[in-house]
Every structure is written in structure tokens, then in C-alpha cells.
Structure 1
Amino acid sequence: MSSAVRRSVPVRTFGDWNDPLPGYVEVDFVAHSGTSSSGSFVQTMVLTDIATGWTECVPVRTRESGLVIAALNQARSLFPFPLQGVDFDNDSAFMNERVVCWCRSQGLEVTRSRAYRKNDQAWVEQKNGAIVRRLVGYGRLVGAEATVVLGRLYDVVRLYGNLFQPSFKLREKTRIGARVVKRYHPPVPPIARVVAHSGVAEADKERLQAMLEREDPVMLFAGIRAAQEELGKRVDRRGLNAGTEEPLAIDLPRFTVSLKTAWQAGEKRPTHRRPYRRTKPYPKRPSMLEPFEPQIRAWLEADPALSAAAVLQRLVSADPSRFTKKALRTVQMAVKAWRMEIAGQIILDGDWMKRAPVSPPAAAGGDTGHLNAPNFSNIPG
């Protein structure tokens, strides 16, 4: 059935748009499947207007034709102008009789790209990476709760991206031999293109102007980060294990202060893939010095300047079958660790200094005694 539906839908390539009126959009899915495409997972439907660059993102829990129609209907209500046509890829979620017939019944022109030709949908493919992947990442999202949280993120992203985020738009492309020269219009937000376009009704333009005056870009940006923080807790978690959580409150003063130094740490977002951390403990062999550790500590406390070679010589005398000259490096590391521990005690609280023995009173001069300062010349500074 899907093959027959595909044959009934005309093909439209990247070069066939010819500067259309606002309302003709490219539609694509972005899968939030993580490292495995098996099972059911959340997907994002991305719709990008060709003339203005206005982009809407709608989360879809599963790839079911009824949910696809509901997402398309929701996206129609979000665009500031009526939709005129939709351009799909060859995904079976779009190329089925139910979705295509619904679009045509709503007066939408239905076209599709060529199979395995991503450039035919270059407008929406660029938004897939610049918006969805950049903000949501590549983690796996499953369940209704994750879909709701993802929808909260897109509610803020649509306002920030369409009202305040400038973007380029291709003006012309010229081929000179084997070289292609591209020239672009000056970067402006999508709302500027909508307001400047003669094909948009004046009532829609006035509504957009009121929306622009009402929204605060800093508050929207803080809302994006708060939604990402909430969504990051659900990445790679199954829907049954992720309980309902209240939306995070936006602390605007703290967020604005953090912007001064945010550039130093780079873009660390909770929705992005986390570095691998080993959970299993590393296997550890017992140390050959473990039975003699109390004796070694006693030697070093009695003579802090004792070298590792002298310690090894005493160990060889104590147990020739266990210790040889080849164990010098092991003894050096143990002695160094002990001296670092003692130095830390001296710096932090001085407990080791308090335990130092007190010398007897001097024979002459009436001194009451003093602390014997141990020799720390061999302790690394």
C-alpha cells in the first residue's frame, strides 16, 4: 500500500521550490532512540517553512499514523500563517494512505523528496541538527512523561528561535565550472522575514509584533536551560522508571550572573551524551609490602630521613625470599606516599608535630625543654 501511495505523491527536489509563499513546509522526523533503534521511543516532528525559515518542533510518542496527524494538526496551529503544502520524505510514517488523505482533505499540497536524497530536504535537515540535536542531544527518550517534558522544551525553543535567533537564507547559487558560489541574505530572525513578506496577512503581522514585544530573550534562554536540566534526568531512562516531576523553577538572577563565565566551560548540556565512567572496580593485587607496612611506618617515624634504599635493605635482611633489589621502585612509591600523608597532617592540623618527643631539660641555662624538630629535608616540598 505504501508503494502505491508513494507513486501517487509527486516528487519535489531542492531546486524546485522557486521562492514559494509562506506556508510551504518541509517535514521530517528526528528519532530519540539513543544507541538502539529497537522498541518504541520518542520522536520529534520538525516542520520548517521554506520562505521564512520559521520552524516548529512537535514531540511524538510513537510512529503511529494517528499521532502523526495529531502532530501535524498541532503544528498548523503554531505557525503564524496558514499552511499551504507539506513536503515529506519517503518514511512510511508519512507515506501512508491515512496521512496523505488527511493532508489533502485539509487543502494541503503533498509532495515528497527522492529516495536516499537528503539534499532534497536541505531546509529541514539543517534544522534537525541546529535545533533538535543541538538542544536535545542523542540520548534515548521513552514514554509519555519524556514526551511531555520534551514538549515543554519546544514551547520555549520555538519562541526563542523564531523571534530572536538570526539565521541565514540562501539568496542565489551560481556554478562556475566545478566551483559553486553561494550568496546569502543578511541574517535576521524568522519573524523579520514573516513581517517583511507581502504574502502574510496584516493581522498575523500585528499578532507577531505583539508577541515580540511581550517576550524576553533572557527569560526564554533561562527557560531553555531549565527544560534541558529537567529533560536530562530522563535521558536513557525507561518511561516506567521515570516518575512524574514538577517543572524546574527558573532562577533568573542566578542564571544571568552565570552567563559571565559560562563561555569558559563550553557547552555542557545535561541532555548531551555523558562521558563513560567505569562502574566496576578495577582488580587490585595485594601489595608485597602489606605484611610489613606497620614495621616500615615505625622505621620512618623513628627516622624520617630514612631513604627508600635503606628501607629496602632492611626488608631484604628481614625476608630475603620475598624482597630483592628489583623491588626498589615499589618501596620508593610507598615511602613517598607515607611522606605525603605526614606532610598533609603537618599542614592541616599539626597532629604529628604534637606527638613529637620532648627533649629533657638542658644541663645549664634553666631551659624547660623544647620540641625536637624532626629532619624534613627528605620530604618532598
Structure 2
Amino acid sequence: MRDALIALWEASDRVCGKRLVSMIPVLLPALERHGRLKPTSAERALLTTLSAATIDRMLIDVKIAAAGGRRRRVGFYSAIRREVPIRTFNDWANPPPGFCEIDMVAHGGTSVAGSFIQTLTMVDIATGWTECLPLVTRDGSLVVEAMTRAQGLFPWVICGADFDNDSAFMNDVVVPWCRAQKIEVTRSRAYKKNDQAFVEQKNGAVVRRLVGYGRFDGVETARVMARLYAAARLLVNFFQPSFKLKEKRREGAKIIKRYHPPATPYERALGHPKLPSAVKRRLRQTYRTLDPIQLLATIRTAQEELGERIGKRGLAKVPTVSPADPLSFARSLGTAAKTAEVRGTHRRPKRRYKKRIRMPSKLDPHLAIIENWLAVEPQLTALAIVGRLATIDPSMFSDKQHSIVQRLLRSLRRKVAETAIVSMPVDEIRPEAVDGAACDEHSAPPTASPPSWPRLETGLGQLVDLHPG
């Protein structure tokens, strides 16, 4: 009985038990017709009445052996993810201030190897208030410390936190801490970034615009980024207006969006009816003490120091950038654009690619010979072809020319593959009677001689015949 079930499982291409239950009534008679399986009537009755749970239980050892002796284990954080509810973009329904979307931005440059700084971004849904905090590494305890610090930076109490499915958030440190602080915890769907549209927008408009895409690591660099974010939070939240979506509808293939008038998070907070007057009074007092030129000068100074640290990674001593004078910085604002000022954290401009004229190759006079060799022996390698060419002209060819021969082989085999794909016919599947005769209503097409099938390169570097047989 178990051997028959294993044979059915292998014949079904190792599908799961729930799918195999539906396949057995169809697969078992097909195997019996062709003599692949000969169960008794009692075994046939038992096989057709098996449940999915019984099939998985009977095949558990076979599946482990088929996987090379490794058993798939459920992730440690999957249980915590399951108990955190999902919230999409359309589920917010105008919450009061205090409900935030939280995400992390990696500052690893072009490589994710090793340890590097992460920026924890928190965005309030109702007002757009943004707080950014640098983390030296991705760790749940550091996320808790950053959220504790952010609770003192936000003008109001944090009531809800919407995370993504990152293990730095979905763990047994962050989720229990949020619940102990009476913070409602939700998460987005996996691989659905639009569920966190508010924070994803700030990741580009605030974090990447300020810091760029370089690689940053180390405690000293984190302190510089903390100074940068301390000045940027006041400039962004009090002086920089942003758009907020009002409605979105679809008309045919067009999506029409309507936005509220642009406003700063500070203005949205003052106009929100659910914020107490004491919070609004403190915001007005803070606003009167702020100098945007001073904040911008501090941001530029921190950006210059971060620009000096890009690519250094502790290998060279970074010069200390002196604090900027607000008066001289204000005088340079009118001329900075004319002098093509580039911030230290901006990407380096890419040089334009210079198109080159193809130079004649050493292989051009021998191209026909190489094609004839490949037609007879498709498995020839570049080194073998170079060896044959060296016997023909030793002064021109040696082992150093195998790279240009490899490029030539790739181009020739690509052309052969394209020709093979284009010339492959699409045959229609026509039902036939048991005795091989065609149906009366649908006459069979006249048979013709089989076409000359091309040869296609396989993944092993060999050419095989594309013949139906």
C-alpha cells in the first residue's frame, strides 16, 4: 500500500498531499492501463479513500530522504508574524495623530555584506510628522531604544506602530515591548510596499535626499547622522510642505488622484481637531525659536562630513569639518546654484559611455573554418579551437586568445538558438480514436515529411537535436 502511494507521489511529480488526493482517481487508472501499477481491488479502494493528512503522514520519511536528509523547519519569527494583524493602505481611515508607519533604510552602498548603519524612519499618518534615527546595526533591542527616543521627539503619544515583515521588527523583543507600552502593533503584507506608502515616500524624499546611497558604518558616523537628523527633523516638519492624497479613483485604464493643498506637518497638527491645545501651544513656541538658515547650515555641515566618510570605512582618518557660519552660509545661497554646488552625499555623476567602432578581429579570416568545426563537433571549447588555430598560424594565436574565442562562441550559439526557436512548429493536439483512425467530423491533416530540425545549445554547452522523438 505504501509502495503504491510512493509510486503515485513520484508519478505526480511530488505534489503535496492535498493535490495528490484529487489526482489519485485520475492518475491511478492511467498507470493501470499502461501496466505501471497493478494494485488489487482492496488496495485500489484504500488508495482512493486516503485523506491528505494520511498521505502526508505516510510520506514524511520519503520526503525527507528525497530532500537529501534535510527537513524544512518553520522560521522562529513566523509564529510572531502570525499573531500580528495585517493592515493595508486602505485600512487607515483617517486615524488621529499617534499612529505611525515604521521602516528601516539600509546604508550599505552597493553591498549588503557586513555590518552598516540603518535609519529607522517613523511617519505619522495624520500629519506626516517624520522622525529619523540612526541604528548602528539591525537589532531588536536597538529598535526599542530608538522608539523610546522617538517617543520623546514626537509632540504627541505614539498609539500605533505599523511595521513590515522584517525580522528586526517581528521578534520577541519589539512586539512585546510595544504591547507593554499600549501601542497597537500591525504589519504590512509581504512584498507589498504600497501598504506602507507613507513611510516609503519619506524614505526617498527625506532619508535618501539627505544621506544619499553611500555606505556608512561605525559609531562616529552614526553620531554625525544623528546631528544631521536632529536638524533635518525641525526643517522638514516645520518648514517643508508636502502633499497628502485626498482621493483616488479609476476611470477605465486611467487612475485619477486628488490631493489636499500642500501643508507642513506643523500646519496639519495645528489644524487637527483631535490634538489638545497644550500640544499646539508647545508647537507654536518651538516654531518661533527656529531659524531655517541655521538648520540648513547644520545639515550641510553634516553632509560634508558624511561625504568625506563615504568609502573610507575607517581606513583613513576623516578630517573634522568645522561648523558653518550661518551668516556666510546665507550669503552663499544665491550663488550656490550658479557655481554648480554638489552636496557631499550626492551620487557621483556617471561619465557618458563613449561608443567605439568595432576593430577588425584576428578571427575574421578564420570564421568560416570555425563554423565548419562547430558543425561537425558542437561540443568544442574555446581552448580546443585556439589550439587548432595555433597549429595553423603559431605566430598569431596562443592560449591568450581564448577570451575572444569565447565571445565568438557565445554569439554563434546565440544565433543558432534564435534560429531554432523561430523554426520550431506549433503542432495542434487532435483527438484520435482508440484504433488510431481520425474522427469523421474532423479529418486528419495530410502527413508530410518531417522538417529538418535545427540543433539547440543546452545548458551543458552541447548541441542537441530538437526532434519530437
- TM-score scaled by length of structure 1: 0.70
The superposition leaves residues 28-49 of structure 1 with CA deviations (integer Å, 9 ceiling, x where unpaired) of 0000001110000001000000
The correspondence for 1:271, drawn from 340, 345, 354, is: 345
The correspondence for 2:308, drawn from 233, 253, 263, is: 233
The superposition leaves residues 9-67 of structure 1 with CA deviations (integer Å, 9 ceiling, x where unpaired) of 00000011011010000000000001110000001000000000000000000011111
Secondary structure of the equivalent of 2:260?
A: strand
Could you tell me how far 1:89 is from its partner in structure 2? 0.5
Aligned to 1:255: 329
Aligned to 1:44: 119
Could you tell me how far 1:172 is from its partner in structure 2? 1.2
Secondary structure of the equivalent of 2:101?
A: strand
On the 8 A contact 1:144/1:239 being kept in 2, the answer is: no
Could you tell me how far 1:255 is from its partner in structure 2? 1.2
CA distance in 1, matches of 2:96, 2:348: 42
Could you tell me how far 1:248 is from its partner in structure 2? 2.7
The correspondence for 1:183, drawn from 236, 252, 258, is: 258
- Decide whether aligned partners of structure 1 residues 252 and 209 sit closer, same or farther in structure 2, where only a CA change above 3 A counts: same
Aligned to 1:215: 290
The superposition leaves residues 323-360 of structure 1 with CA deviations (integer Å, 9 ceiling, x where unpaired) of xxxxxxxxxxxxxxxxxxxxxxxxxxxxxxxxxxxxxx
Could you tell me how far 1:240 is from its partner in structure 2? 6.5
The superposition leaves residues 236-283 of structure 1 with CA deviations (integer Å, 9 ceiling, x where unpaired) of 22246456x656312122211211122235561101233579xxxxxx
The correspondence for 1:203, drawn from 278, 288, 293, is: 278
CA distance in 2, matches of 1:183, 1:242: 51
The superposition leaves residues 279-314 of structure 1 with CA deviations (integer Å, 9 ceiling, x where unpaired) of xxxxxxxxxxxxxxxxxxxxxxxxxxxxxxxxxxxx
- Decide whether aligned partners of structure 1 residues 240 and 148 sit closer, same or farther in structure 2, where only a CA change above 3 A counts: farther
- Decide whether aligned partners of structure 1 residues 173 and 267 sit closer, same or farther in structure 2, where only a CA change above 3 A counts: farther
On the 8 A contact 2:304/2:321 being kept in 1, the answer is: no
CA distance in 1, matches of 2:91, 2:156: 22
Secondary structure of the equivalent of 2:244?
A: strand
Could you tell me how far 1:217 is from its partner in structure 2? 1.1
CA distance in 2, matches of 1:27, 1:216: 29
User: Percent identity among equivalent residues?
Assistant: 57
The superposition leaves residues 115-140 of structure 1 with CA deviations (integer Å, 9 ceiling, x where unpaired) of 00010000000000001111100000
Aligned to 2:204: 129
On the 8 A contact 1:146/1:239 being kept in 2, the answer is: no
- Decide whether aligned partners of structure 1 residues 255 and 62 sit closer, same or farther in structure 2, where only a CA change above 3 A counts: same
- Decide whether aligned partners of structure 1 residues 86 and 267 sit closer, same or farther in structure 2, where only a CA change above 3 A counts: farther
Q: What residue identity is the alignment partner of 1:270?
A: G
CA distance in 1, matches of 2:161, 2:335: 43
For structure 1, list consecutive stretches of 5 or more residues without a partner in the other structure: 278-381
- Decide whether aligned partners of structure 1 residues 267 and 91 sit closer, same or farther in structure 2, where only a CA change above 3 A counts: farther
- Decide whether aligned partners of structure 1 residues 149 and 188 sit closer, same or farther in structure 2, where only a CA change above 3 A counts: same
Count of paired positions: 276
CA distance in 2, matches of 1:264, 1:212: 31
Aligned to 1:160: 235
On the 8 A contact 2:244/2:262 being kept in 1, the answer is: yes
Secondary structure of the equivalent of 1:36?
A: coil
Q: What residue identity is the alignment partner of 1:22?
A: P
Secondary structure of the equivalent of 2:185?
A: strand
Decide which moves more: 133-142 or 178-187: 178-187
On the 8 A contact 1:160/1:221 being kept in 2, the answer is: yes
The superposition leaves residues 174-195 of structure 1 with CA deviations (integer Å, 9 ceiling, x where unpaired) of 2222222111111111000011
- Decide whether aligned partners of structure 1 residues 171 and 275 sit closer, same or farther in structure 2, where only a CA change above 3 A counts: closer
On the 8 A contact 1:47/1:57 being kept in 2, the answer is: yes
CA distance in 2, matches of 1:229, 1:253: 18
CA distance in 2, matches of 1:19, 1:267: 41
Matched, 1:139 2:209: no
Aligned to 2:144: 69
- TM-score scaled by length of structure 2: 0.57
